[in-house]
Structure 1
Amino acid sequence: MTDAQPFDLSVLQRASGGYAMLAVDQREAMRNMFAAHTDEPVTDQDLQDFKVAATRILTPHASAVLVDKQFAFDAVVDAGAVAPGCGLISSADHFESAHGELVGEVTVDEAVDPAVARSQGAVAMKLLVLWREDQPAGPRIEMVERFVDRARSAGLISIVEPVSRGRADGKPSDTEAGVLEAAKELGGLGFDLYKAEVPLKGQGEDDEIRRRSAQLTEAINSPWVVLSSGVPQDRFPDAVRLSMSEGADGFLAGRAVWSACIGTPDVEEALRTDAVSRLKALGELVDEQMASRA
């Protein structure tokens, strides 16, 4: 792995130094979210249209936005949908269904050329890593190191997103323990930013979420932020606050911002009202938590 100093992360941050980043890189999972509200087939164009609209409407209030190459990155760039001052992040992961899961295996997406992504305006790349207790660490570590080298070769910030999953063999496993084990295994591999699951999906006792967040801070050798998948939408602000009280620096999240808009009579209006309100409030919360450290 390339031995290099971390990048300047200010292109992903608010003025406070915290992160209030938007994710619209969900793929088949997003298709399923739309399908739950209609009897009609959900097309690739439907997904692209939503992603472009969400990017255009929400990025004035986000410090960065994460977009997937498969459905929307090129369209978002061509539409000029990213607001000035909002950093553009390209996904760099290829998803495959496996183990009874919609996203069961992940590899580095060879179709994403880091140099081309940078020429299109990207400042960072993101890689999802699935952590399973019954799979060996070596391939995960090698994939992260290779991803970091690919990003750095193009002058891009590297963001790693480990997610704890059940065992591939279907035997019982403690996926909550896996959140910390993933951080211990991968947290020192030289990437620039770590995207973590909220401990207990934000649904445990506050003190326990804080305790587990402090353990993540100790294990991760970079700044880290939380994702919102699995966290009830209205619980996410508390989850951000609790994790930031023990060392997290903000969030990179999608569902907590825009999921309630899907299935509404006027999706763009819901983005302009409900989603903007949620994102602005989360950004202010991040600023308040950063100020409390001063």
Structure 2
Amino acid sequence: MSPVDLSVLQRPSGAFAMLAVDQREAMRNMFAEHVTTPVSDDTVRTFKLDATRILSPYASGVLIDKQFALDQAIEAGVVADGCGLIASADHFEPAHGELVGEVTIDRTVDPAKYAALGVRALKLLVLYRPDEAPEKRIDMVREFVESCRANDLISIIEPVSRKPLGDAAFDWNAGVLAAAAELGQLGADLYKAEVPFHGQAAEADVRRACAQLNASIEGPWVVLSSGVPEDIFPDAVKWACLEGASGFLSGRAVWASCIGTSNVIEAMETSAVERLQRLCDVVDGVVS
């Protein structure tokens, strides 16, 4: 089988500069911080579609979830030409006191159907807990990768470090590295990693951990912005890319501060666009 074509998600430089708008109940909670009334599905959906329309012209890829906006984004044609469409293929369940406590493959996201509709890649979130047996995670990733491969879709996995279900001590950063060691060589076309230390450590320490990620991950990898302060993220992306990363797939560092502003559209058209363009400049300057 011929290698998958990743260029549909890359900039001319070869860097990945991808936007995520697939946050679900987490995004609803972001809105809830600014209002006293319940946040409707329509509010969340409208934001996702507006963000895609405004920001996808500056991104090499955009990640959208089926629960709120994937079908509507396709129907409305809000994804810019030249921006590869990525569909979330993960089903979230609240559990263990967490908004996303359990994750399975979303069986309603049919790979063949969405490939025919123009989707170029699927993404799967994987929860890494140090006290859970690895077999379930590994089997899920392998099934996901094979399904993508069978439908000529790019497979993107997003392992995230989570606290143990028991009372054992928790080292979040160690979990980021352990997840890459366990899942980084299972055949996924692209690995989406959390930034070590959430970018909030000395450059040398962040880069050393990124170098460990790079050694564990077979193939290209990018970083996400969850947990990384907006003003720090450009440096975190640069440090990761200097140690082998190929760009970013992030949302919060681009658009989160637009939520709750007096004019969300204007904030996205100005400050969010500027933040995304700056991140594009960062990866273009480092990735070769």
TM-score, normalised to structure 2's length? 0.99
% identity of equivalent residues: 60
Name the CA distance, whole Å, in 2 between partners of 1:94 and 1:138. Answer: 19
1:31 maps onto 2:19 in alignment? no
Map Cα deviations across residues 196-240 of structure 1 (whole Å, 9 max, x no partner). Answer: 000100001100000000010000001000000000011000000
Q: Which of 256, 271, 280 is matched with 2:268 structurally?
A: 271
1:43 maps onto 2:40 in alignment? yes
1:106 maps onto 2:96 in alignment? no
Task: Indicate the larger mover: 161-170 or 192-201.
Answer: 161-170
1:260 is matched with 257
Structure 2 counterpart of 1:24, one-letter code: V
1:116 maps onto 2:113 in alignment? yes
Map Cα deviations across residues 76-112 of structure 1 (whole Å, 9 max, x no partner). Answer: 1111000000000000000011111100110000010
1:224 maps onto 2:221 in alignment? yes
Q: 1:5: Cα distance to partner?
A: 4.9
Q: Which of 85, 89, 93 is matched with 1:88 structurally?
A: 85
**SS at structure 1 position matched to 2:231:** helix
Whether the 8 Å CA contact 1:214–1:247 is kept in 2: the answer is: yes
Structure 2 residue runs of 5 or longer lacking an equivalent are none
Q: Which of 160, 165, 169 is matched with 1:163 structurally?
A: 160
Name the CA distance, whole Å, in 1 between partners of 2:218 and 2:2. Answer: 13
TM-score, normalised to structure 1's length? 0.97
Q: 1:149: Cα distance to partner?
A: 1.1
1:12 maps onto 2:9 in alignment? yes
Q: 1:188: Cα distance to partner?
A: 0.6
RMSD: 0.8
Whether the 8 Å CA contact 1:126–1:158 is kept in 2: the answer is: yes
Q: 1:177: Cα distance to partner?
A: 0.4
1:182 maps onto 2:179 in alignment? yes
Q: 1:60: Cα distance to partner?
A: 0.5
Q: 1:171: Cα distance to partner?
A: 3.0
Structure 1 residue runs of 5 or longer lacking an equivalent are none
**SS at structure 2 position matched to 1:168:** coil
**SS at structure 2 position matched to 1:251:** strand
Structure 1: 4+ residue segments shifted above 3 A: none
Q: 1:6: Cα distance to partner?
A: 3.5
- Between the two proteins, the alignment pairs up a number of residues equal to 288
